[in-house]
Structure 1
Amino acid sequence: MSETQHPPRDWPRARAARQALLDAALPEAAFEGWNEAVLKRAAGMAGLTEGEVELYCPGGVLDLLETWSRNGDAGARTLIEAEPRPNRIRDKVARAVMIRLDQYAGQEEAAARARARLLLPDGLERGTRLLWATSDTIWRAIGDTSTDGNFYSKRAILSGVYASTLAIWLDETDPDKPKTRDFLDRRIENVMQFEKAKAQWRKATANLPSLSGLAARLRYGPGRQV
């Protein structure tokens, strides 16, 4: 089986083709959005045939958005890991989120249109998966090694924080993004307070009878008496 007939999507040739398409599409998408017309023009600029586009990007522009998102994740992870890490976890997360958002600096309009495209019905699953991947990248980059239930809760919570902060970041024209930083700090503080309240509740109720057990006894009676 030759590469010309069935090249895997992760082969260098396929990755290079998607990157060329993405580079050509970005300026166009900033004005016209991420659509098939933009993909077709990008193919012409990248010197790719219609068949090559179908081969390397069977998902159309959604494949380009995935390439862009994963490029941003990789670039952010390199920068996050290279910087001195703050001591507090909230500061680590806040700094890492801002570094990831800054991967879109100068391309805010294209990023805003990408966000809108991924909110369409056929893009929701892809968008959700990419959001999770970004959150996972951030946690790993700041040294998270959790493998229990915290692994999933951390990424789910950060996905919500990142998605809401991205919306503010895209709307803010100041390149220093002070409103975004303030918003992010408040969101993280809310999460930290929630986690603190949960920990206090677990501690306070650690010695109480199981609620499910009590409910069962109320329904079925105390059971056999010895």
Structure 2
Amino acid sequence: MDMQEDPEAWLRRAEEAVLTAALARAPAMGWTRAMATAAGADAGFTPGETELILPHGPADLAALLSRRHDAAALAALPDPAGLKIRQRIRAAVLARLEAAAFDAPAVRRWSGWLALPPNAPQGLSLAWESADALWRWAGDTAADENHYSKRAILAGILVSALAVRLRQGEAESEAYVDARIANVMAFEAWKAKQTPGKPLRRLAEGLGRLRYGVRG
């Protein structure tokens, strides 16, 4: 590290460099700690520096890749002002799928690693994070139980649609997304006619505790 460089700037630059190297390594090596170490070396870092950059190895890389794809999707999206909510969500999901598909060989390894039981909580957390970013782009300001239900539903669509995209291609994934959005819109229309009850409030409270932790 250049001693004149800001440590945070160095870390961000280093993370991006190692992630880029990891995308080349992952298809052959899998999403593993050995791959993370090799990617660090490919990016020009010593083992000690790589450990500093990625203390949790593949878990850190998994988060970095998800956030890179979130950023790429948001950068590719237009101003949502002229779009209806259904169009916004469709555009957001397709942009996120396109960002992931750009790195498809590595993403297959990434998604397989996140699907393993020990890593599933991180996978769910990253899917929620992606859904939250897309809903914020779409202009969502809900602060009640809808905040959580919208993100939970969209996270599920993102995960399943990505699996379709990787297995069956772009056309099939677009059709899948359209069908799921139609399902959601039908549900939202039904829900709008209902009076929120205790079960829904309890669900929202439970999701809030998962997100923010129990507060004393």
Q: How does 1:72-111 map to 2 (within 5 A)?
A: 72-80=69-77, 82-83=78-79, 87-111=83-107
- TM-score, normalization by structure 1: 0.78
**Higher mean C-alpha displacement, 122-131 vs 151-160:** 122-131
Q: Any stretches of 5+ residues in structure 1 without a counterpart?
A: 211-226
- Cα distance in 2 for residues equivalent to 1:190 and 1:137: 22
Match of 2:188 in 1: 195
| 1:156 aligns to 2:152 (yes or no) | yes
Distance 1:14 1:184 in 2: 36
Q: 1:85 to 1:108 in 2, by over 3 A?
A: farther
Q: Distance in 1 between matches of 2:12 and 2:119?
A: 21
Secondary structure of the 2:175 match is helix
Q: Partner of 1:218 in structure 2?
A: none
Identity rate, percent: 38
Q: Is the 8 A contact 2:80 2:138 kept in 1?
A: no
Runs of 4+ in structure 1 off by over 6 angstroms are none
Write the mapping of 1:4-83 to structure 2, written as runs, cut at 5 A.
11-80=8-77, 82-83=78-79
CA–CA distance in 1 between the matches of 2:159 and 2:106?
Answer: 16
CA deviation string 1:155-207 (max 9, x = no partner)? 1111111111111011124xxx111111111111111112222233439xx9x
CA distance in 1, matches of 2:87, 2:141: 18
Give 1:84 shift. Answer: 5.3
Higher alpha-carbon Rg:
1
Measure how far apart 1:53 and its partner are: 1.4
How far the C-alpha of 1:104 sits from its partner, in A, is: 2.0
Q: Once the 2 structures are TM-superposed, how far is the Cα of residue 64 of structure 1 from its aligned partner?
A: 1.0
1:127 paired to 2:123:
yes
CA contact (8 A) 1:54 1:60 kept: yes
Alignment partner, residue 142 of structure 2: 146
Check 1:85–1:105 CA distance in 2 against 1; reply closer, same or farther (3 A cut): farther
Q: Map Cα deviations across residues 81-105 of structure 1 (whole Å, 9 max, x no partner).
A: x345553312210111000111123
Letter in 2 for 1:70: R
Superposed counterparts of 1:167-186, under 5 Å: 167-173=163-169, 177-186=170-179
Q: Is 1:115 matched with 2:111? A: yes
**Alpha carbons 2:89, 2:138 under 8 Å: kept:** yes
**Conserved 8 A contact 2:74-2:134:** yes
Say if 1:87 and 1:40 are closer, same or farther in 2 by CA, change over 3 A: closer
Q: Residues 44-66 of structure 1, C-alpha deviation per residue, up to 9 Å, x if partnerless?
A: 21111111111121110110111
CA RMSD of aligned residues (A): 2.3
Aligned mates of 1:137, 1:26 — CA distance in 2: 23
More helix by share: 2
Q: Is the CA contact 1:86–1:92 (under 8 Å) kept in the aligned structure 2?
A: no
Q: How does 1:196-211 map to 2 (within 5 A)?
A: 196-202=189-195
SS across alignment from 2:192? helix
Task: Structure 2: state its 5+ residue gaps.
Answer: 199-216
CA distance in 1, matches of 2:194, 2:142: 22
Contact 1:21 1:43 in 2 (8 A): yes
Q: Structure 2 vs 1, CA of residues 85 and 110 (structure 1 numbering), >3 Å: closer, same or farther?
A: farther
